[in-house]
Amino acid sequence: MTQPVLPTPPIDLRQRMIEDMEMRRFSRATQRNYLRDVGRFAGFLGRSPGTATADDVRKFQIVQRNAGMPAPTMNSIVSALRFFFTLTVDRPDLAHKLVRAKHPRNLPMVLSPDEVARLLEATTSLKHRAALSVAYGAGLRVAEVAALKVSDIDSERMLLRIERGKGGRDRNAMLSSDLLAVLRAWWKAGHQLGIMHKNGWLFPGQHPAKPISTRQLHRVVVEAARAAGLTKHVGPHTLRHSFATHLLEDGVDIRVIQVLLGHSKLENTALYTKVATRTVRAVTCPLDKVMALMVAKAAPGP
């Protein structure tokens, strides 16, 4: 007896995209942003994004531009759609139709070492001071700070293990002796409070089973900056910028800084050369040499 041919079940593109991102170890934040941006495109189409045409992609980007959408936001959507078209629905032809918007890149805000000290001193708890010390002392992104576990501290090799950083990449971050001392003090205090466990989060949230949120860390930085009397616009990423800039000013090779930051491209790290003021001041101006020669020539002979 011939078996009836059953209809092929519809493909759940959302679930397929999640699986594609999971396979590449994308962070939860990246997955959430990519799904949101593809959903934005689906809302524009009014149908499944898997049925899009080249003209749909073109019209979508024109509408975004005419609506005054900021270039960074447009580029984030481009990244999400390129992933979706290339990997989830195997339509690289559509990915090639997406155009990234050019925009001037602002120089990062950087604190001086004295301002960093004032910021840390203005925190209201050991937990918050330890979290901000990690952000500055290891140059971590705010999501990386929040995702740290107690087991990520390698005190023997003096390293912090960063799992699934930006782009799903793992790396090692530096762990100085002073930072380790701060973390040990926080471990002791948190353990006594019953919120720290060997296999738990390094910075638990309001519920110990969940990590501190990036929003909470941002609020901690803003409040500490206000209490310290800092007039600069400060956020968690300011500490990462300051870490990289201070290393560069201290003569650390830029490629080493690239590895510590987890940058895939050197050009992203090179941005800090534009704000490393001590490095600029240490360079001898060629005019000084010329003036010295002129003075020497003008001086009367013996």
Residue 68, both tokens: 């005054």
Report the DSSP beta bridge partners of residue 21. Answer: none
User: Do 119 and 156 share a domain, yes or no?
Assistant: yes
**Residues 6 or more apart in contact with residue 44 via CB below 8 angstroms:** 60, 63
Which pLDDT value is given to residue 105?
72
Which pLDDT value is given to residue 7?
45
Mean pLDDT of 132-142: 93
User: Do 65 and 147 share a domain, yes or no?
Assistant: no
Which pLDDT value is given to residue 204?
93
CATH code, domain carrying 144: 1.10.443.10
User: Do 40 and 139 share a domain, yes or no?
Assistant: no
Which pLDDT value is given to residue 1?
43
User: Do 148 and 118 share a domain, yes or no?
Assistant: yes
Quick one: which of 252, 282, 105 has its CA closest to 261? Answer: 252
User: Do 44 and 88 share a domain, yes or no?
Assistant: yes
Domain end, chosen from 206, 236, 266, is at 236
Residue 230 has φ and ψ, to the nearest 5°, of -80, 135
User: Do 21 and 54 share a domain, yes or no?
Assistant: yes
Token pair 């910075």 in the structure block, residue: 203
257 part of a folded domain: no
122 part of a folded domain: yes
Q: How many domains does the chain have?
A: 2
User: Do 80 and 128 share a domain, yes or no?
Assistant: no
Query: Of 214 and 8, which is predicted with more confidence?
Result: 214
Which pLDDT value is given to residue 266?
80
Which pLDDT value is given to residue 84?
94
Domain end, chosen from 201, 236, 271, is at 236
Domain end, chosen from 95, 124, 155, is at 95
Residue 10, both tokens: 């519809």
User: Do 84 and 118 share a domain, yes or no?
Assistant: no
Q: What is the CA radius of gyration of the chain?
A: 25
Q: What is the per-residue pLDDT across 66-117, written as a single tens digit (0 to 9) for each?
A: 998 888 889 999 999 999 999 999 999 999 999 988 877 777 888 999 999 9
CATH code, domain carrying 61: 1.10.150.130
The range of the structural domain enclosing residue 210 comes to 114-236
User: Do 55 and 162 share a domain, yes or no?
Assistant: no
User: Do 124 and 228 share a domain, yes or no?
Assistant: yes
User: Do 125 and 229 share a domain, yes or no?
Assistant: yes
Quick one: which of 151, 20, 14 has its CA closest to 83? Answer: 20
Burial profile 243-275: b = 16 or more Cβ within 10 angstroms, e = fewer: bbbbbbbeeeeeeebbebbbbeeeeebebbeeb
Catalytic (active-site) positions:
141, 166, 237, 240, 263, 272
Mean pLDDT of 130-134: 95
211 part of a folded domain: yes
Residue 204: strand, helix, or coil: strand
Query: How far is residue 74's CA from residue 79's CA, in Å, rounded to a whole number?
Result: 9
